Every structure is written in C-alpha cells, then in structure tokens.
Structure 1
Amino acid sequence: MYIKDNYKDIFMSAVLTMHNEESYLDQCIETVLNQDHENFEFIIVDDGSTDRSCEIAESYHDNRIKLYRNRQNYIKSLNLGISKASGKYIAHIDADDMMYKSRFTEQIRYMEEHSDVDISGAFMESFGRLNIDYTAPTENLRIVSDLLWAVQIFHPVMMFRTSSLITHHMKEQLYNPQCPLCEDYDLLVSSALQGMSFGNIPKKLVHYRLSDKQLTCAKGKQVKYYMLQTRKKYYDYIVSSLLNHHKENYKPAIQSLTDRYVRKEINKNGYLQGLSDLYYQYLTEVR
C-alpha cells in the first residue's frame, strides 16, 4: 500500500556495513534505492570484503550512494558509517536484509510525530532458515524496563535521531568496541542509562534474513558472553535504582523474586521479567 510522504523534504541517511555479502547485496541495495521516500544519502561501508561486494555496490550509478572502504573491523566500520551520516535521521541497514518500500516514510513520520523519541524501531519478519514474526513493546518505559532481559529494538530496523546522538556525544563512536558481537544490545543499554527515549512502530518494516552464516549462529558462545556482561551492567543499575527509591517497598519484592528463583518456582527469564516489571512500576512513579 502506498503511504503518502508528508515529510518528503526531510533529508536522512541510510547506513549499511558489509563484509562479503555478494550473494544478497543487490537485493538489499535495490530495496533501499526503491524506497518511497527518496531524499536520502546511502552510505555503504565495506568491512574488508574479499568477494565482489564492492564491485556490486559500484555497479549502481545512483548519486545517493557513497562507498567507503575500511580494513576488516566490524565495530569500526559501523562507527565510520554513522560518523559520515549527515541526515536528520540515520537508518541502520543490514546488508543481507530486504525492506518494505515504506520503511523510511513510516519511520520518518513516526520520529517527526514523536519528537521525544531518540531511537525508534519496528516489527519485522524473518525468512530463509526460519520464518518468525518479531514484535516488541511500543511504549518507551516498557522498552526501557524490558531491556533487562532482551533486545527491544531490533537492529535491522533501527533509526536514530542525529541531533540526539550529537547531544549525547555518541555520533563519532556509537558502537562500543569493547562489546563486539553484541553491539546492538550494548548500544540500547548505554542509551537507556543516558536517559534516551525509545519507540517501536507496530508494523513489520523489514524482511530479516536468517542464515547459518550469521555471527549469532557461528559464534553463539561469544555472543552470550558479551550479552551477559551488558545485562549485568543494566541489572546492577536497576537493582540500585529500586533500592534507592522506596527501599522498604522494593527490597521485599526483589527478595521474593530471588527466593522463588532459588526454589526453582520460576526460571531465569521469569526472574528477569519480574524484575523488569518492578522497574517499570518504578519508572511510572518517577517520570
């Protein structure tokens, strides 16, 4: 369905980082160039590819495309792309995914109508190895609280407000080089700790490719290690916040959750969800 672009004059940046993506790159590039919002720059950062990825990118004669080359270092390449972006908004693109034609229009409209949101996302669906519908909370406080147990804004459909990144001194190094393989989760937790606001559009805007090539499959143990490190940082912050705010109310609740977990009445996910519910309650009280 065609979506009228009421903000067609807004200039935005689409940023794609690629490493040996010749198999799917042309499909991804075409879904970017064919967006119904046309006023954007398309920044492609090559992360040390040894296949035909750069050749494929250069075969598109579209003046919106800007190709940069970097030695293989995924986090540095991600940060390079963000640092080069000059649009009002920055959309992250995964090099093997495909987007709904209205993705940019939908997200720009959302960001314009929600001026308090610093980072937005949307729902998405996977294809390839598995077919899964990915949904997440849409409201900021729920996203912030539920970050304790999982990513709540999906990286393939993430959009940033550039002015917010500049204000929080994040534009030159948005992604943490000390947290490879889990950079999206660390980014969201770090943003939440700085008081940034989030939102999700309750529509599927990206076709997310699942394949055995992906790092989450190939390096699962390392991904888990970095995710646990990031989660611990957020867990410590949340517990400290709860105990510093009406300790007499939250301490017994935390202890009750802990006791239930020790007695195996709830599993780890149940414990984390219970703690995130307490944090959500806390956030609604103080904001």
Structure 2
Amino acid sequence: MKTISVVMCASNAEDTIAGSIESVLKQSYPDFELIIVNNGSTDNTKAIINSYDDERIRIIDNIDNYIQSLNIGIKASTGKYIARMDSGDIMHVDRLKLQHSVMEDFPNIIVCSCWEIIFGKNIARRMHEQKFCGLIEQPLVQLLNDNVRISPIYMMRKSFIDEKKIQYEDYNYAEDYKLWSEIAKSKGVLYMDSQPLIYSRICDMKISRKRREIQIQNISKIKKEIVFSLCYKLSEVYPMLIPLYHTNIDLLKEELISEKDFFSLFYSLFIKNKNRFKDIENKLK
C-alpha cells in the first residue's frame, strides 16, 4: 500500500501522456502509485502506458465514460491521499512532497490544491494566480462566486471521501467543481497553496468551444444547488430564505433577472451576514 494514489484518466492522449507519466515517476516523494484509467482510447495511448516497466503504474481499461473512469480510479486507489491529474499536464518535481506535507501537518484539511502554470500550443506560458491562498473561508460561498479556479491538480484525503460517500457525478466538464461543492457541503476544509506545482496544458480552443456550452449549463446547475443548500441549512432560523430562493428562481425563469444578478444577490447576502450565519451553523451542529 502506497501513501499517495495518483489518479489519471487518459482518452486518446498519445501526444501528451508520456510527458505526464514521466513527470509523476520523477517525483521527489517516492511513496506513490500511479493509477491510469484508459478511458476508451482508440489511438496508441494504451501502448504508450504499457511501455513503462514500473511496478508503481497500474492501468485499468474502461469504456468511453470519463466520469465513470474517474470513480473507477478513485475506488481502485489504496493510498491515504488521492492526487488528481490530467493526462496532458506536467507535475512539478516536488508537487507530491509539498502537498503531502500540508496534509500531514494539518489533518483538518480535506483538499489541498495549488496555483498553476498554464501553457499550450500558441499560448504563452504564464502563471495563473488564484484570488485565494491558504485556507478558504466560507468555501461554499466562494465557490458560488467563481473565486476559486478548480483544476484537477489537488490532493484529497481518501478517508473523508469514503466516509461521506462522495464521488464524481455526471456534471460533464464541471465534475471537479461539483466534487468540491459536495466536500464543502460536508464541512470539508479546502486549502490553496500559492506555489505553482503543476503545468496545466490548455486544450485546443475549437474543442473547448464545443464543450463550453455544456460546462456553462452544469456550472449554473451546481451554483443553484449551492444556493439552495445554503438557504436550506439556515432556514430553521430564517425560514424566509427558502421562498426567497424560489421567488428568484421564478424571476430567473421569466428572464426578469439575469443569472449574474441571481448569484450576486445570494453571494452578497451570505458574505455580509457571514458572522451571523456562522454562529447559527455552529449552534445547529
């Protein structure tokens, strides 16, 4: 059993997966396994994976279902911690060591993410700076306002995921966002390291445009779920929050307000009353 399980899904990644695998194998922290779920690849992806003679690598074949493949990888992991990674990205040599150190030093942290260096074809390499570093206060509220960029570059505590029965859900192209929101709903503590510990490859823009509409729809759905969850949690003391939510949903459906207005209203409500609501949440525990 290894301390860290690196989980990667690969779908027709023959052009990038070798670099991703090698960046994992070169990690300064050695106690890991690399689980690669071959997600229905029809190119040379599987052959490239099999070309590595390293006992730390495990390959699992699955049909072309990305969300299912992620869950298969998580279920197969044996580590205390799960480190996510895409098959086009490159790990900093100390990524596992540094994220492992944070998780060991602060056992209350459930998810440890980091800043990243963005690169790609015809894209200048640059650091993507987050609005947050350190512990993320009011994580559900901050997720509501797009204050945290969520990429598959995080490490999470497997015992918490198992205990709370949290898994990836069918929110295509927003599955990490949904996962984080469910962890936050379950009182999981989120942490953002300001060190860029991964090089994230930006996909071809034409492909991104095709997926963007689905992604926007799913992000909107998740945000509405977050708003309802926050309103419902506080409705024992403030029962008017539930009808407030439904009234604004109706206004949204009639296009009398925009989604931006809808989410800004509730974000402001929860931010301005954060101390009051925090006291209520503590009493309700």
* CA distance 1:184–1:151, shift in 2 (3 Å): farther
Equivalent-residue separation in structure 1 for 2:266 and 2:82 (angstroms): 31
Per the alignment, in what secondary structure is the counterpart of residue 175 of structure 1? Answer: coil
TM-score (norm 1): 0.82
| Superposed displacement of residue 212, structure 1 | 1.7
- Aligned counterpart, 1:4: none
- Asked if residue 32 in structure 1 is aligned to residue 5 in structure 2, the reply is no
| Superposed displacement of residue 48, structure 1 | 0.3
Per the alignment, in what secondary structure is the counterpart of residue 219 of structure 1? Answer: helix
Equivalent-residue separation in structure 2 for 1:149 and 1:229 (angstroms): 13
- Aligned counterpart, 2:140: 144
- Aligned counterpart, 1:161: 157
State percent identity of aligned pairs. Answer: 25
* CA distance 1:247–1:73, shift in 2 (3 Å): closer
The number of aligned residues is 267
- Aligned counterpart, 2:48: 56
Give the counterpart of 1:204 among 196, 200, 209: 196
- Aligned counterpart, 2:101: 109
- Aligned counterpart, 2:69: 77
Equivalent-residue separation in structure 1 for 2:80 and 2:145 (angstroms): 31
Instruction: Tell whether the 8 Å contact from 2:130 to 2:149 is kept in structure 1 after alignment.
Output: no
Alignment root-mean-square deviation, CA:
3.0
- Aligned counterpart, 1:46: 38
Instruction: Tell whether the 8 Å contact from 2:145 to 2:264 is kept in structure 1 after alignment.
Output: no
Equivalent-residue separation in structure 1 for 2:44 and 2:116 (angstroms): 28
- Aligned counterpart, 2:83: 91
Instruction: Tell whether the 8 Å contact from 2:27 to 2:93 is kept in structure 1 after alignment.
Output: yes
| Superposed displacement of residue 132, structure 1 | 4.8
Equivalent-residue separation in structure 1 for 2:273 and 2:57 (angstroms): 43
| Superposed displacement of residue 141, structure 1 | 2.2
Equivalent-residue separation in structure 2 for 1:229 and 1:193 (angstroms): 15
- Asked if residue 135 in structure 1 is aligned to residue 130 in structure 2, the reply is yes
| Superposed displacement of residue 188, structure 1 | 1.2
Equivalent-residue separation in structure 2 for 1:267 and 1:127 (angstroms): 33
- Aligned counterpart, 1:278: 272
- Aligned counterpart, 1:257: none
- Aligned counterpart, 1:176: 169
Per the alignment, in what secondary structure is the counterpart of residue 205 of structure 1? Answer: strand
Equivalent-residue separation in structure 1 for 2:27 and 2:173 (angstroms): 29
Per the alignment, in what secondary structure is the counterpart of residue 97 of structure 2? Answer: helix
| Superposed displacement of residue 210, structure 1 | 0.8
| Superposed displacement of residue 36, structure 1 | 0.3
Equivalent-residue separation in structure 1 for 2:82 and 2:195 (angstroms): 19
The one-letter code of the counterpart of 2:79 is G
Instruction: Tell whether the 8 Å contact from 2:140 to 2:226 is kept in structure 1 after alignment.
Output: no
Instruction: Tell whether the 8 Å contact from 1:156 to 1:206 is kept in structure 2 after alignment.
Output: no
Instruction: Tell whether the 8 Å contact from 1:181 to 1:215 is kept in structure 2 after alignment.
Output: no
| Superposed displacement of residue 145, structure 1 | 2.3
The one-letter code of the counterpart of 1:274 is S
TM-score (norm 2): 0.83
Task: Report Cα offsets for 1:96-117 as digits up to 9, x if no partner.
Answer: 0111111000110000111011
* CA distance 1:53–1:283, shift in 2 (3 Å): farther
The one-letter code of the counterpart of 1:146 is Q
